[in-house]
């Protein structure tokens, strides 16, 4: 037990250190190339920090554990929103992350609503024996992936119309790219090792499998997002922070397609429990609140009643607590 805890802490420390470096390299690439912090966060940072989810979920698929795969991805989206809410709620600068200044991210946030909604739709349809299978592949994950690619194009076209001020602090593009690739690889392998460690810890505690997939494993695979988002906020790159979280949530849904291709026992969304639709609905509600906070322009905010970071944090914590009681405790962990 102690050895598992020490291993968990060590791997988490590696992710923290290199996650901070990753955010700096992604920010530098955005400045040097003119890509823009919104698109850099949505693509560069989100893809790098979401690679652990891809590795872990492919492992779950090979182990024929669709509940863990779907739960880890949808649950990771919930934790990502909680991370962003905590960052906004706790930082001391006068500007807020959830504000009208962040309205350029409404397109990405709306995409998150769309992709999560499609996941919920196919989870519900599967309970009616409508699994839409073609040659062993599920239609749902494929539709989600296509919509994700189309959303990236929309964000790119929108971002091209805005100019970013370059300030890469003397870093060359070559150095920034090499640093980005190296830190991404280190985070990928560290997080891939962290998830099995968290599974073993969860097994020792006797927590239910569905709850573990939606919370414990999702939390560990969201650790790169936590570190890089915190680093982006400290640098004052709010666009990078928001783009990272929303981009990761969209990427999480797109990951369902390659994971479904790996899962050969059936279809991923067709074999997963309907209980994951509850997590998905919660993600949609919190994302909608984030969108409201981006367009709401009051003269004076009410912390308790107005949409914003406080409401995001409270709802996310309540949702995680509810998942513990609603998840079936009898679900076993997949065999290693």
pLDDT digits (tens, 9 = 90+) for 201-247: 666 765 544 555 455 666 666 677 777 777 777 777 777 778 778 88
Report if residue 205 sits inside a domain: yes
- Is residue 84 a contact partner of residue 220, using CB atoms and an 8 Å limit? no
Please state the separation of Cα 35 from the chain's center in Å. Answer: 21
| pTM score of the predicted model | 0.75
Report if residue 167 sits inside a domain: no
Report if residue 332 sits inside a domain: no
Report if residue 24 sits inside a domain: yes
Stronger pLDDT, 320 or 79, i.e. the higher one: 79
239: CATH: 1.20.1420.30
Confidence of residue 79 (pLDDT cuts 50, 70, 90): confident
Confidence of residue 104 (pLDDT cuts 50, 70, 90): confident
Angle of CA points 18, 23, 28, to nearest 5°: 125
In the prediction, which pLDDT does 335 show? 44
Over residues 312-329, the pLDDT tens digits come to 888 888 887 777 666 554
Structure tokens at 283: 């993600």
What would the mean pLDDT of 190-195 be, rounded to a whole number?
A: 70
Q: Which helix (H) or strand (E) holds 67?
A: helix 66-90
Which residue segment(s) compose the domain that 290 sits in?
A: 2-162+173-326
**Which residues neighbour 39 within 8 Å (Cβ) at sequence distance 6 or greater?**
30, 155, 156, 159, 243
In the prediction, which pLDDT does 232 show? 75
Report if residue 203 sits inside a domain: yes
Confidence of residue 303 (pLDDT cuts 50, 70, 90): low
Confidence of residue 164 (pLDDT cuts 50, 70, 90): very low
Report if residue 336 sits inside a domain: no
Stronger pLDDT, 291 or 190, i.e. the higher one: 291
Average of per-residue pLDDT values in the chain = 75
Q: Is the pLDDT of residue 330 over 70?
A: no
Q: Is the pLDDT of residue 26 over 80?
A: no
Report if residue 306 sits inside a domain: yes
In the prediction, which pLDDT does 284 show? 94
In the prediction, which pLDDT does 112 show? 92
Structure tokens at 331: 């679900």
CA distance 124 to 101: 37
Q: Using a pLDDT cut of 90, give the percent of the chain over it.
A: 9
- Specify the number of domains making up the chain: 1
For 101, which DSSP code?
Answer: G
Report if residue 67 sits inside a domain: yes
Tell me how many helices (H) and strands (E) the chain has.
Answer: 14, 2
- Is residue 133 a contact partner of residue 267, using CB atoms and an 8 Å limit? yes
Confidence of residue 160 (pLDDT cuts 50, 70, 90): low
Using only the alpha carbons of the chain, give its radius of gyration. 19
Q: Using a pLDDT cut of 70, give the percent of the chain over it.
A: 71
Structure tokens at 336: 């290693």
Q: Is the pLDDT of residue 120 over 80?
A: yes
**What sign results for the dihedral spanned by CA atoms 165, 171, 174, 178?**
negative
What count of other Cβ atoms lies within 10 Å of the Cβ of residue 32? 18
């Amino acid at each position: 037990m102690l050895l598992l805890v020490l291993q968990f802490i060590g791997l988490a420390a590696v992710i923290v250190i290199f996650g901070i470096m990753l955010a700096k390299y992604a920010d530098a690439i955005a400045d040097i190339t003119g890509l823009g912090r919104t698109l850099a966060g949505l693509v560069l940072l989100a893809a790098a920090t979401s690679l652990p989810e891809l590795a872990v979920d492919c492992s779950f698929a090979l182990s024929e554990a669709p509940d863990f795969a779907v739960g880890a991805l949808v649950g990771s989206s919930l934790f990502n929103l909680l991370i962003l809410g905590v960052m906004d709620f706790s930082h001391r600068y006068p500007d807020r992350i959830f504000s009208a200044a962040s309205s350029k991210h409404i397109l990405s946030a709306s995409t998150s609503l769309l992709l999560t909604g499609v996941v919920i739709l196919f989870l519900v349809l599967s309970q009616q024996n409508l699994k839409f299978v073609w040659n062993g592949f599920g239609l749902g994950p494929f539709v989600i992936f296509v919509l994700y690619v189309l959303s990236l194009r929309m964000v790119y076209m929108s971002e091209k119309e805005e100019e970013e001020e370059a300030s890469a602090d003397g870093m060359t593009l070559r150095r920034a790219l090499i640093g980005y690739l190296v830190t991404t690889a280190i985070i990928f392998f560290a997080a891939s090792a962290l998830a099995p460690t968290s599974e073993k810890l969860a097994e020792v505690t006797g927590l239910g499998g569905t709850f573990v997939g939606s919370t414990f494993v999702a939390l560990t695979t969201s650790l790169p997002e936590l570190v890089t988002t915190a680093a982006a906020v400290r640098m004052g790159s709010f666009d990078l922070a928001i783009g990272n979280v929303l981009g990761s949530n969209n990427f999480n849904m797109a990951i369902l397609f390659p994971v479904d291709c790996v899962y050969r026992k059936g279809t991923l969304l067709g074999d997963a429990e309907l209980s994951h639709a509850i997590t998905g609905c919660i993600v949609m509600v919190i994302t909608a609140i984030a969108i409201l906070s981006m367009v709401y322009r009051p003269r004076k905010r009410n912390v308790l009643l107005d949409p914003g970071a406080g409401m995001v944090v409270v709802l996310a914590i309540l949702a995680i607590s509810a998942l513990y009681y609603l998840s079936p405790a009898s679900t076993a962990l997949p065999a290693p």
